Structure 1
Amino acid sequence: MPQILLTIFQLTSRSVSQLCMSIMTNGTAGIPEKFMGSFKLDRSENFDEFLASKGINWFLRKMICYASVTKVFSHADEIENAYCLQNLSAKRNTLYKNWKLSEDFEAEGFDGRMHKIKFDYDPETESLKETHVRTDDPTDAGETYTYTVDGNTLVLVSTS
């Protein structure tokens, strides 16, 4: 049975350049500017159960549950129409740099393993979807992370 995790992040900052970019790119294809910025973890629902469904032991689950996470979405500096996502925590940071919508790329996940990752934006639901599949496990069903923004709140729903 698929497990669902709801995670809430609060906007902590947006740069002046991000606000200017928001005005200039209104109505163009890509990820809307409301997703750009730094969002700090506020709360999670069903996180322990989600991690347990992934086979993570009790002690490690407790350590993960107490870790604070900040997600930072930004435009890539080097490549046009590309993005970066930083996942920042006390335990481990990940940086997904210079990715484009609907294109697969490989990067290291929070678990230290290599993942095939893809981001897609759905303008109808105004949601950004991030999919991960571990490249070293042919049986891995992966995870899907779906982001929406409500005001200054980034809402993340994870399914496995």
Structure 2
Amino acid sequence: MTPLLALYHKLTRLPFGHWLFTRAVCFKAPYFGSIGPRFTLLENGRCEAIVRDRRKVHNHIGTVHAIALCNLAELTAGVMTDASLPKGMRWIPKGMTVSYLKKASGTVRGVATPNIPLVVSTTGYELPVNVDVFDPAGDRVFNAEIRMWLSPVPTR
């Protein structure tokens, strides 16, 4: 179990644990706090988080802003990757392709899963991570493929 996944399991047993875990992640990567996320599930190979429907994530027509959706996608993909990472490996986002499928209204839920298994490697490799974002009705409103670069941690 990775340190991040262990922290998730430890904190989410506590009252307000999901909130506390979210605050810890946003402390480490402060920009993600701008969308006010809340992690709802984290396990090896899957991460889910929500962004509540609030004015601060709206665009000029009152729906969830495209960049807020991108932030949710990168956040869930990164946390899923970190929680699933084989020992001795590290990661960094390499690129993202997005599709806006319909207007995103209400509280949205992002779900990140890898498209291939994460493995230990002596060389770097690209890990495509799929992120779907759903509206309250369960309709898919956004999709992203985030390409993570996984590589061995250098030995010193």
Could you say whether these structures have the same fold, taking a TM-score greater than 0.5 normalized by the shorter chain as the test?
A: no
More helix by share: 2
TM-score by length of 1: 0.28
More strand by share: 1
